[in-house]
Chain A
Amino acid sequence: MSAAASTTDTAAPRPLHRRRRIHPKQRFGRIVLHAIVTVACLVWFTPILQLLAAALRTNPDTAASGWWNIFVDPLITLDNFAAAATVMRLGSTVPATLAMSIPAVILTVLLAAYGGHALSRWDFRGKGIVYAALVGLMVVPPQVTLAPLVQLFSAVGLTGNPAAVWLWSLGFTLPFGVFLMRGYMASLPEELIEAAKVDGASELRVFFQIILPLSAPILASLGILQFLWTWNDLLTPLIFVGPASANAPITLQLANLLQSQSGGATNLLSAGSLIAVLVPLIVIVSLQRYFVAGITAGAVKG
């Protein structure tokens, strides 16, 4: 995507002299600045705060008053989490979600690294076409693939199988992944590879012992992005696995629960939402550095 140019920018350290001294006449401007930033943060945090508050409140409380009353009259319960875990059948939902997301991550990272390596290291006839095709395919709307794949997957018996989901996620993310890898690997120092070749290393050795370790940050960010996309995806499992399947992943279970409760059960749903976002949240917070690097380096696929 067009953010390829910013790949190098992201690594640039922030200049220390950026913050300027404040003139008194600029005080009004500073107040407006803080007001806008603070209000934006408040607005953006409120829905999450509501999720937390509603998940901790009791059902009678929620039926009687708005969630903000938890700050006035804090009556807290963990029952909602227990109930949500049962209703969402976490015992089978979490393994099913992992059986979709982990293979998607491993295969996407491996194949994208192959493609990035081939397109950044070697010149060959047809390279331009392959690359242009991948860049074009990066923004194909997923819906285009659904009708034919529903037929294909049911013909080969993949319907309802987590493999249908990870296979689709792999194919759909690969163009973006290869694009991301190519950009990063093209910036690796050529001398290292040449030196290894002089020492008689094979192409495979060069790839697995030099290219891959050097590309670890970008591999990590692609892996994180793909994990989040697969874990949070609704449309693909809905189509290929089905809403009532025993293999329904956690996002689909939450959507089922939401649709079965017209308007009510806010507590249960909030607890379910928090359970569903727990893993992605841990991943983002603990691997934030790589997540940010990847997202800014390659922008994001559609």
Chain B
Amino acid sequence: MLIVPFLLGTVVIPAVVIIFTTAGERLLVRFSPTTQRRIRPWFWLAPIIIVVGVILLYPIVSSVMLAFAGPDGTGNVGFDNFAWAFGESMRPLLLNNIIWLVLLPAALVVLGIVLAVLIDRVRYEAVARVILVLPTAISFVAASVTWRALYAYAPEGRTQLGLFNALRQLVGLEPVPWIARPPSDAQWLNTVALVVVAAWAGLGIALLVLSAAVKAVPTELLEAARLDGANEFRAFWNVTLPAIWPSVLTVLTTQIIAAIKIFDVVYVMTNGNNGTNVVANQMYGELFNRPEQLGHAAAIAIVLLVVATPIIWFNIRSVRQQGTL
């Protein structure tokens, strides 16, 4: 059974695409050079436009329509679905998403810059980098497996099997239920504990991007700043940071998007319990458990899209500024 979709994707469709362009070229050479120039790009772009149209454009338009439609996907209920999306039941989730949105990008930008600058100055840079990037190969699910064990909690007096609580026990502190604080406690710290997992898994990519930028900073500029009497921190602040700023923005936008759509870590580690639920996890629940409520899921999706819009605009603008558009 698996062989059919496998061969379809590895042999049949690639062959169809190549035959399509070959036939297109045969056809095109019969036209005048001007016509050729005008039409040719569309032949090459056609497969992309079809796939992106079906997988991205159509769903965006359809989501907007579903978000205004009734439970069965028809009719018009105005902003009812959005009222639900911003209603009492969803508000704690939106707050959690804001925690993600602030902490994850901030943590990765700061950690990424500090470590990129520091490992550039040690002899064992290659080893350090491999260690820090290793979690990137690991899925969020596998990351959650190991972090759930690190966070393991047993009531005071029992053997602590989780590393963090064992360390606390060692210095005489009482154990903490890291991802299972009860509602009476500060439950937002449960979400912070999940952000730590995502930061652990995500640092590698931030580090690779920032590391490349740090290495590209001209040494002469740094030397000049030092000759002018600047200490290491001033040299970093006045020379390195401005030079790597475009890469910092890249990491920031990438991680903001990652935070908006965060799902895996929450789904696997707490399944949204203990006050850690986020919008994307709720959306999966709506889709899977209440498929008759497509309007709710669509309204959530549109909220996510609206939150991402500034980033979309920012991306188009920065590409335009670089003169590639």
Contacts and interface: CB of A to CB of B under 8 A. Distances in A.
Contacts of B148: 258, 263
A6 B56 contact: no
Nearest to B124: A37
Specify which of A6, A54, A68, A270 lies most central, judged by the most chain B CB atoms within 10 Å of its CB. A6
B37 interface: yes
Contacts of B2: 95-96, 99, 162, 247
Contacts of B30: none
Contacts of A150: 287, 291
A246 B219 CA distance: 56
B250 A1 contact: yes
Contacts of B146: 47-48, 50-51, 54, 270, 273
Interface string B281-320: 0011001100100100110111011001001111110111
Interface residues of A, number: 131
B45 A130 contact: yes
Interface string A271-295: 0111011001101100000001001
A107 B13 contact: yes
B41 A124 contact: yes
A54 B10 CA distance: 38
A14 B119 CA distance: 14
Ranked 4 nearest A-B pairs via Cβ: A103-B9, A171-B55, A302-B257, A232-B139
B32 interface: no
Contacts of B29: 202
B271 interface: yes
B246 A2 contact: yes
A188 interface: no
Contacts of A276: 139, 141-142
Given A40-B115, A50-B146, A284-B136, A12 B5 contact: no
A300 interface: yes
A200 B143 CA distance: 54
Given A2-B249, A41-B132, A140-B305, 5 more contacts: A140-B308, A141-B261, A183-B324, A258-B145, A266-B149
Contact of A141 (B54, B136, B308): B308
A87 to B, nearest CB: 13
Contacts of A130: 45, 49
Interface string A115-158: 10111001011011011101111111111111111111000000
Interface string B11-48: 00110011001100100010000000110111011011
A213 interface: no
Contact of B305 (A14, A68, A141): A141
B140 A170 contact: no
Contacts of A114: 17, 21, 44-45, 47-48
A195 interface: no
B208 interface: yes
Contacts of A255: 141, 267-268
A162 B9 CA distance: 10
B209 A140 contact: no
Interface stretch (B83-91, B157-165, B181-189): B157-165
A6 to B, nearest CB: 6
Contact of B56 (A171, A203, A231): A171
A112 B320 CA distance: 21
Contacts of B62: 147-148, 151
A199 interface: no
A14 B215 contact: yes
Interface in B104-158: 111, 114-115, 118-122, 127-128, 131-132, 134-150, 152
B6 A17 contact: no
26 contacts: A1-B254, A3-B209, A15-B219, A17-B219, A41-B132, A45-B131, A47-B143, A47-B147, A51-B142, A65-B159, A114-B17, A117-B44, A122-B37, A122-B41, A132-B316, A137-B52, A141-B261, A148-B59, A148-B298, A232-B140, A234-B264, A239-B284, A247-B1, A254-B141, A273-B141, A284-B137
A110 B211 CA distance: 30
A201 to B, nearest CB: 12
A80 interface: no
B190 interface: no
A162 B10 CA distance: 13
A226 interface: no
A58 interface: no
B261 A143 contact: yes
Contacts of A41: 127-128, 131-132
A228 B137 contact: yes
B173 interface: no
A149 B55 contact: yes
A142 to B, nearest CB: 6
A257 to B, nearest CB: 9
Contact of B150 (A6, A50, A149, A247): A50
B194 interface: no
A301 B281 CA distance: 21
